[in-house]
Amino acid sequence: MTRASLLGLLGAALLACSSSSSDTPTTAPADPAPADGEAGPEDPQAEVTLAYFAGGCFWGVEHYMEQLDGVLGVESGYMGGHVEEPSYQQVASQTSGHLETVRVRFDARRIGYEAVAKRFFEIHDPTQADGQGPDRGPEYLSAVFYTDAEQKRIAEGLIERLRARGYDVVTELRQADRFWPAEEYHQDYYVRKGTEPYCHGWVDRFGTGK
């Protein structure tokens, strides 16, 4: 089943049982999660760090990133466009400039940014230029939104490693912008549905195993 079909079924259910529809824009401020170095709820001593990735449908990226040990939470949302408080419909219309993006909160004491970014490149196809899997369009492009020069350097290094292994990587590197959380029904989609991603999966692209 394609994502469009899944969204159609989900939308019908939401209209029947929810008072907030998918075209209602979020009013949450940008980056309400703890800033780097602040304590997260899971561990008061956690060195919370943020990372942002776009790699097709955010449902699948969120699902696999959440499985990393040291990741405290992953949220689906939008980044990179010019529309404030975008709704899913606006992003899907391909006029907002936003990419479907996930915000990853991780404990830097337990896992480094390189391991987090490496997992991102392993769970989507960084060589696909027109979207991801069956989801085509600019909102599904592959991108790393780096927050500082160190994150950019690490992402560049991972891309070079992949190219050295024969991958024609098209992933864009962009300065992180304001992150807009997606509607509630997009969060933890596969956990709630009890299903698996339809266009994401782990691939040993670096030849290092899991």
Domain that holds residue 62: 40-193
- The four Cα atoms 196, 117, 186, 99 give a dihedral, to 10 degrees, of -120
pLDDT given for residue 2 in this prediction: 47
Residue 173 structure tokens: 């590197």
Q: Is residue 25 part of a domain?
A: no
Give the helix/strand (H/E) hosting 155.
Answer: helix 149-164
Q: What is the pLDDT of residues 160-173, one digit of tens each?
A: 999 999 999 999 99
pLDDT given for residue 44 in this prediction: 82
Q: Is residue 177 part of a domain?
A: yes
Question: Which residues are identified as catalytic?
Answer: 57
Q: Is residue 12 part of a domain?
A: no
Q: Is residue 81 part of a domain?
A: yes
Q: Is residue 82 part of a domain?
A: yes
Instruction: Count structural domains, the chain.
Output: 1
Q: Is residue 8 part of a domain?
A: no
- Give pLDDT < 70 ranges for the chain: 1-42, 210
Give the CATH number, domain containing residue 146. 3.30.1060.10
Closest listed residue to residue 141, CA positions, set 57, 41, 36, 77: 57
pLDDT given for residue 150 in this prediction: 98
The C-alpha atoms of residue 11 and residue 182 are separated, in whole angstroms, by 15
Q: Is residue 147 part of a domain?
A: yes
pLDDT given for residue 118 in this prediction: 98
SS3 142: strand
Handedness of CA 156, 159, 163, 168 (dihedral sign): negative
Q: Is residue 122 part of a domain?
A: yes
